[in-house]
Homo-oligomer: A and B are copies of this chain.
């Protein structure tokens, strides 16, 4: 196995040496072609993904759309080109006591990137998902370790990417796909000397192991592991009084979408003891009761959900508000639980993510206790505030707490359904991610795979186009502190 993996990484490095210089326009054509090839897989892809994951075809129509839009968005980003963050400080030859040199910098690709896809997003966060799209956009070659829970889907998508490589006449090893489910395989690839960075989406255990392998190398490399969250939601009084039915419906959907197997699933709902909170709780249970139960992705996730759930629901002070009856292999019952703030604070089990269609309402004695609990939660991908302007104006201090907890603060909406835009942050304080300074969703995901390179007094003819005086690519550039195009 080691010889074979060595060969893969050597090929990835060879491919990187030429691919890093491919123009933004050509990378756009490549990324668009990947999207076209994925769409050309047609019903075969949708059916295979559905078979392998127990998720409905309709879900994959949406996820394919997201995956292809994402690939094309990165294509547009690199064709436009300003993402390289070109910064130019021009020379001042007569500065005293020393002349000021001409200094220019731009982002350049890191090298071959290793991607571990997520089981819960076989298209959008797996083989041709956000990590692959952003790394290819950056100019890095990519090696994907196909997820063992959807091997045929992964192979189909890999074949689409390989077709695109060949259609675009790129180095044949710009993209490679490795199959296998051993722990050792991931370790060897992460620790190979040619691996320059890793993107991982999945569990805390897996993400932390890969991170550790990356940091224990002789030459440490960036490992961005996105490892999920409980995504705490604050339910404020005035909003509950006026919009309980609307939010109950939205949260019932958010808790159960994808059978709760989303890293932005709202797993903890915080409110202050009141009749309004009781009313919302009943409405949420009622809404959940109208949503059918579905099968989970695979046996491992189902077993884990059932066993954690049975433990947590028998914990002291935990009340089961709603527990759907669910029959059949791998089917997961949506569950709503409730616990007092005091009992929650005493029970660390309740602080961790429960991966599945589960959420727990924390009934706090007062605002102080709610803030105290909120602060004590681990780092989060998201935190959500449900509140009218009146609620928020009388609780203005809440935002200061929210800022230190999460990568994204959502107002009056559910945390699931992450928009892919320039401003997206999908990351956050550990264990949401291993480095809160980066994001794995949105266009800035590309920043994980590049480093700045400075050219001092470089002759203009030798400079990359992005930082040539004449700005032949028409980029936005920061010149002596001002953005210009």
Chain B residue with minimal CB distance to A428?
Answer: B451
Within 8 A of B (CB), among A208-226: 211-212, 215, 219-220, 222
Count residues of A near B (Cβ-Cβ below 8 Å): 77
Cα distance A389–B412 in the bound complex, in angstroms: 61
Cα distance A220–B424 in the bound complex, in angstroms: 23
Docked-complex contact B421 and A103, CB < 8 angstroms: yes
Docked-complex contact A454 and B222, CB < 8 angstroms: no
Task: Please give the distance in Å from A470's CB to the nearest CB on chain B.
Answer: 17
Cα distance A296–B90 in the bound complex, in angstroms: 36
Complex contacts, A450 vs chain B, CB 8 Å: 437
Q: Of B421, B439, B481, which one neighbours A452 at CB under 8 angstroms?
A: B439
Q: Of B104, B400, B439, B456, which one neighbours A410 at CB under 8 angstroms?
A: B456
Task: Please give the distance in Å from A268's CB to the nearest CB on chain B.
Answer: 18
Q: Of B215, B400, B403, which one neighbours A212 at CB under 8 angstroms?
A: B215
Binds B, one of A147-155, A274-282, A321-329, A457-465: A457-465
Chain B residue with minimal CB distance to A476?
Answer: B483
Please tell me if A122 contacts chain B, counting CB pairs below 8 Å.
no
Please tell me if A89 contacts chain B, counting CB pairs below 8 Å.
yes
Cα distance A447–B87 in the bound complex, in angstroms: 15
Docked-complex contact A422 and B478, CB < 8 angstroms: yes
Docked-complex contact B98 and A458, CB < 8 angstroms: no
Work out how many copies of this chain go into the complex: 2
CB-defined interface of A363-392 with B at 8 Å, one 1/0 digit per residue? 000000000000000010000000001001
Docked-complex contact B220 and A459, CB < 8 angstroms: no
Within 8 A of B (CB), among A236-271: none
CB-defined interface of A100-111 with B at 8 Å, one 1/0 digit per residue? 110111001011
Q: Of B410, B411, B412, B452, which one neighbours A407 at CB under 8 angstroms?
A: B452
A458/B101 contact (C-beta < 8 A), A215-B220, A219-B430, A452-B444 known? no
Please tell me if A436 contacts chain B, counting CB pairs below 8 Å.
yes
A409/B458 contact (C-beta < 8 A), A419-B101, A423-B103 known? yes
Cα distance A478–B477 in the bound complex, in angstroms: 12
Docked-complex contact A462 and B403, CB < 8 angstroms: no
Cα distance A400–B222 in the bound complex, in angstroms: 23
Please tell me if A408 contacts chain B, counting CB pairs below 8 Å.
yes
Docked-complex contact B423 and A88, CB < 8 angstroms: yes
Docked-complex contact A104 and B423, CB < 8 angstroms: yes
Please tell me if A39 contacts chain B, counting CB pairs below 8 Å.
no
Cα distance A169–B448 in the bound complex, in angstroms: 38
A458/B422 contact (C-beta < 8 A), A222-B437, A452-B439 known? no
Complex contacts, A392 vs chain B, CB 8 Å: 459, 462
Please tell me if A292 contacts chain B, counting CB pairs below 8 Å.
no
In the complex, 7 of the A-B residue pairs with CB atoms within 8 angstroms, ordered by the A residue number, are A101-B413, A103-B419, A105-B424, A407-B451, A408-B453, A424-B454, A483-B485
Binding site for B on A (CB under 8 A): 17, 21, 80, 87-89, 98, 100-101, 103-105, 108, 110-111, 211-212, 215, 219-220, 222, 379, 389, 392-393, 396, 399-400, 403-404, 406-413, 417, 419, 421-425, 427-431, 434-437, 439, 444, 447-448, 450-459, 461-462, 476, 478, 480-483, 485
12 further interface pairs, Cβ-Cβ under 8 Å (given A101-B413, A389-B461, A422-B478): A211-B215, A215-B215, A222-B437, A392-B459, A396-B462, A407-B451, A407-B454, A411-B456, A423-B454, A428-B451, A437-B448, A439-B452
